[in-house]
Structure 1
Amino acid sequence: MKNQFLFIFEIHEIAHFEAIFGQQVTGRAWQDIQNAAFSSMSDLLNRYQFTQAFECKEVGQCHSIFEAKNDGAMMDIEEQKPIIIQNGRKLIREVFIEQLGLATGRKISFSIAIAELPEHIAPQQLNIDQYNELKAKALEDVKQFELDDADQDMSPYAPISRTQFEQILLDKSIQTFFQSIVSLPSGDIVGYEALTRGPEDSAIQRADLLFNSAAHFGLTDELELLCIEKALDWVPDIPEAYWVSLNIGPKLLMSEKLESLLQASQYQAILPRLVFELTEHLPLESAEQIKERVQALKERGIRLSLDDTGCGFFDLDTVEQLQPSIVKLCITVIRRIQGQDEVAEEIRQTRQRIHELDGVTLGEGVETQEQRQVLESCGVTLAQGYLFDRPTAAKSLFTH
């Protein structure tokens, strides 16, 4: 009888995810993630075969059984386990980014692990206690070889060292891109979001590799500040009729480094055209802490936008606390639109609540006419996504 192995995939803090995006969106997103992860892991484990599709114990938790293919090959799973886990994490991270968008997808915390099934346990007879015992041991194994393989000087996401990354920051060689924001239903451009890519033809040109590597090296704030500085230098070249949205985390928003940058004389005339797009899902206590800072920025003409907002109570509480000018519905929500169904109703209710708080709702990641039509029917008045245009290098859009 061939050895069989338990593959485990779990999202951490799924209740927090549901509080942000709501029950309907979370259920659909999990199904999409589960299917895409199964496909990716099937490709990775090409010398093995899954004996069943992922079995979902509850939203955010699933597992399957795999075994060696019928080719007579002898393989030591213990030797292969570290590389399978390492590559599996990269593939599933890509699944999250594809399904949820970069800002949300790169921050989702999750675990994958592998455990060998004891010979006396048939897969169909695996009970909850046995499953939990195998899972606990497998997760401990993962922690151990992650510690053994940890190399803080090299990015686990791309072949780049900390020294090389720091040099990119010093050289300011990142690239600024812009994507338009349009008014609904007209489709007229009203603003642009500034986006960032790594140096052209570099190992971290892709945004996810750039920002994940920065997080690994503890250089997220330094990268975000440089992104803002590079974008600000382009704003005078963008027609005055358009406002410009800049991504920022709460820590940098509160920092002296940002304040010093905003006080530079060359930026004073453009401050009223700026929108700071807060990229974190903030608990109420954190929202309360930055409320004074947000008000001070508003007095200088800088508006606030909340990025990656869902349809759950969690983000709406933050909206009530901070009262942003713009609230962006996350791509996670937009991609789960299926006509005038429960998700559309959640969008409609969310838009109404935002309107009552004097905010405007923006649908992010709009890719189809159906999504656009549903958003319009729900009263959403701003949109952004591939349906309208793709992010384009600043040097190709504007004359510097």
Structure 2
Amino acid sequence: RGLVPPLEFVPFAEKTRLIKPLTRWVLSCALRQSVAWNRGGHAIPVSVNISMRDLVDPEFPQMIATLLHATHASPSLLVLEVTESLIMTEPERVINTLSELSQLGVRLAVDDFGTGYSSLAYLHRLPVQEIKIDKSFVAAMTGEGSRAKIVRASVELGHNLGLESVAEGVEDARTWDLLDSLGCDLAQGYFISRPVLAEQVLPWLARWNQSPGGSAEPDTTQAA
């Protein structure tokens, strides 16, 4: 049937207890690639989404520590992303796990921020460094004033808590410019690049750095 998207195979992996070896494999690949880039003089972070089963696994922090040691990867270049809705499922348990992970030196991010109805009290307690503003708000912010206000409030909230704000789903220059005016720290989306293979990242990065002002849309004809 061809490629199967994560939204389909990840829930299946969780139900069949395959999520743990799958997570280990993904993390191992990501960390080895990070090491390869870093040795070439490019400190490029890699991000990995974490499931609820990972978060409630008492052995998960030790697995991360073991993989970091085995690959000689820099903990600061690994970003573990947890959705806001997962955090609110078992907030106290998740906070404990995230605290253990934070002690390893890895970066932590709240994914799909704005969709999970998280309590500000819990957000203040989370040992995270980033909030990733959900693409449903970002993609519509140039056409709906209310969405732009939500994005602005999210950026300001993140900054007030000492967190970096990351906008998901940036698909055009107008959205890019508006986010820049709001002081958003980072962005991801098709305007910047479609997904590419690991070996295509450095050539893409060179083109991006050579673009006028570093903000022109890069050539993505080689995107996978």
Short-chain TM bin: 0.7 to 0.9
Question: Which stretch has the larger CA shift, 254-263 or 340-349?
Answer: 254-263
Pick the aligned partner of 1:363 from 167, 172, 184.
167
SS in 1 for 2:43: coil
> Which AA in structure 2 matches 1:346?
I
8 Å contact kept, 2:132–2:168:
yes
Cα deviations by residue, 1:136-172 (Å, 9 ceiling, x for unpaired): xxxxxxxxxxxxxxxxxxxxxx5xxxxxxxxxxxxxx
1:306 aligns with 110
Residue 115 (structure 1) aligns with: none
For residue 92 of structure 2, what is the aligned residue in structure 1? 288
Q: For residue 306 of structure 1, give the secondary structure of its aligned residue in structure 2.
A: strand
Q: State whether residues 113 and 131 of structure 2, in contact with CA within 8 Å, keep that contact through their aligned partners in structure 1.
A: yes
- Pairing 1:241–2:43 present: yes
**1:254 CA displacement:** 4.4
Q: CA deviation at 1:338?
A: 2.8
Residue in 2 aligned with 1:219? 18
How far apart are the structure 2 equivalents of 1:212 and 1:235? 27
**Alignment correspondent of 2:66:** 263
Task: Give the count of matched residue pairs.
Answer: 198
1:202-236 Cα shifts (integer Å, max 9, x gaps) = x3454444335435645334323322122122111
Give 1:337 deviation, angstroms: 1.4
1:262 alignment partner AA:
A
Q: Which has the larger radius of gyration?
A: 1
Q: Which SS does the other structure have where 2:86 is aligned? A: coil
Equivalent AA in structure 1 for residue 50 of structure 2:
I
- Could you say which residue in structure 2 is the equivalent of 1:378? 182
> Match for 1:327 among 123, 131, 137?
131
Q: Return the letter of the residue paired with 2:77.
A: R
Unaligned runs of 5+ in 2: 203-224
Q: TM-score scaled to structure 1, two decimals?
A: 0.44
Higher RCO by CA contacts (8 Å cutoff, separation 6 or greater): 1
> Post-superposition shift, 1:320?
2.1
Distance 2:88 2:116 in 1: 14
Q: Percent identity?
A: 26
CA distance in 2, matches of 1:290, 1:205: 29
What is the rounded CA distance, in whole Å, between the counterparts of 2:20 and 2:153 in structure 1? 35
Which residue type is aligned with residue 375 of structure 1?
A: L
Task: Point out the structure with the larger helix share.
Answer: 2
User: Match for residue 350 of structure 1?
Assistant: 154
In 1: Cα distance, 2:19 partner to 2:77 partner: 25
AA at the equivalent of 1:260: M
| Match of residue 279 from structure 1 | 83
- Retained in 1: the 8 A contact 2:137–2:148? no
State the partner residue of 1:252.
Answer: 54
Please list, as runs of the form range in 1=range in 2, the aligned pairs for 1:114-133 lying within 5 A after superposition: none
Q: Counterpart of 1:365 in structure 2: which amino acid? A: G
Quote the Cα distance in structure 1 between the aligned partners of 2:22 and 2:119: 26
Distance 1:375 1:309 in 2: 16
Query: What is the CA distance between 1:281 and its match in structure 2?
Result: 1.1
CA contact under 8 A between 2:32 and 2:73: conserved in structure 1? Answer: no
* Structure with higher strand content: 1
| Secondary structure of 1:392's aligned partner | coil
Give the deviation of 1:327 after TM superposition: 0.4
Q: Secondary structure at the match of 2:112?
A: strand
Query: For 1:315 and 1:308, how far apart are their aligned partners in 2?
Result: 15
Distance 2:101 2:169 in 1: 27
Do the aligned partners of residues 351 and 261 (structure 1) sit closer, same or farther apart at CA in structure 2, a change above 3 Å counting?
closer
Q: Which runs of 5+ in 1 are unaligned?
A: 1-157, 159-202
Tell me if structure 2 keeps the 8 A contact 1:242–1:273.
Answer: yes
Query: What root-mean-square deviation, in Å, do the aligned CA atoms of Structure 1 and Structure 2 show?
Result: 2.8
Equivalent residue of 1:281, what SS? Answer: helix
Instruction: State the one-letter code of the partner of 1:263.
Output: T
**Whole-angstrom CA distance in 2 between matches of 1:221 and 1:366:** 31
Counterpart in the other structure of 1:116:
none
TM-score normalised by L of structure 2: 0.74
